[in-house]
Amino acid sequence: MATPPDFTTGAILTAAQMNAVGLWLVKSQTIGTGVASVTVTDAFSADYDNYRIVVSGGVSSVSAGALNLTLGAAATGYYRAGAFMSYSGGSITGFNNSNATSWNGIFEASTNIIDGVVDLINPFAAKNTVISSHTSAVRTDGYSLFQGGYLADTTSYTALTITASAGNITGGTIRVYGYRN
């Protein structure tokens, strides 16, 4: 079969064709009303080494908020470095954290939307988890923000938590996809 596959109506899909699907929706979680943090359990498993997390929709109670990301019960050991540039221009600004209590600012949240895309490498494996992410502040004085980092332990994780650093969040969806090994 061609890549990408050209499925036709009524076609019987073989195991080989289905096993070639590269990205699989593992879990979709709707964010509730006025919550300060959201934990998604059973997000990671031995089925996949690497995952994509997409958060979209919803709103924050504040005009310029950020959401932090943590894994399982890990309360320290989060390393990250990143850079952002505002839409109005100016210089690229770098920032970082070492051995922090979360990956900070992974998702942007405003009264317009909550958004961000994250790739995690090896969250379930007993290895360091590696993160790369991008989010955009959806407001006229906003910016685009890229980050990378890792979690300095080799614990196997199954759950993730996003936490509002200010105010609370309502609505939107957290989707977790597994990259086929």
Partner 1 sequence: MTNPLIQIDDEIREMTDEEYAQYEATIANADSMPSAE
Place of tokens 């399982």: 72
Structure tokens at 179: 């990259």
Binding to partner 1 (CB under 8 A) within 151-180 occurs at 161, 163-168
112 lines the binding site for partner 1 (CB under 8 A): no
Q: How far is CA 119 from CA 47, 65, 93, 147, in A?
A: 16, 21, 22, 11
Numbers of helices and strands, H then E, in the chain = 1, 14
- Compute the least distance from the CB of residue 48 to partner 1, in Å: 19
Residues 169 and 60 sit within 8 Å (Cβ to Cβ) = yes
40 lines the binding site for partner 1 (CB under 8 A): yes
Tell me the window of 10-18, 66-74, 124-132, 150-158 that interacts with partner 1 (CB under 8 A).
Answer: 66-74
Place of tokens 């994509």: 52
Residue selected from 44, 55, 72, 102 as contacting partner 1 according to rule CB under 8 A: 102
147 lines the binding site for partner 1 (CB under 8 A): no
Residue selected from 8, 9, 19, 33 as contacting partner 1 according to rule CB under 8 A: 33
84 lines the binding site for partner 1 (CB under 8 A): yes
> SS3 letters for 95-146?
EEEEEECCEEEEEEECCCCEEEEEEEECCCCCCCEEEEEEEECCCCCCEEEE
Q: Going by C-beta distance under 8 Å and a sequence separation of 6 or more, which residues neighbour residue 19? A: 180
136 lines the binding site for partner 1 (CB under 8 A): no
Tell me the window of 17-25, 33-41, 111-119, 123-131 that interacts with partner 1 (CB under 8 A).
Answer: 33-41
Residues of this chain that interact with partner 1 (CB under 8 A) are: 29-41, 62-66, 68, 70, 75, 84, 86, 93, 95-97, 100-102, 104-105, 137, 141-143, 145, 161, 163-168
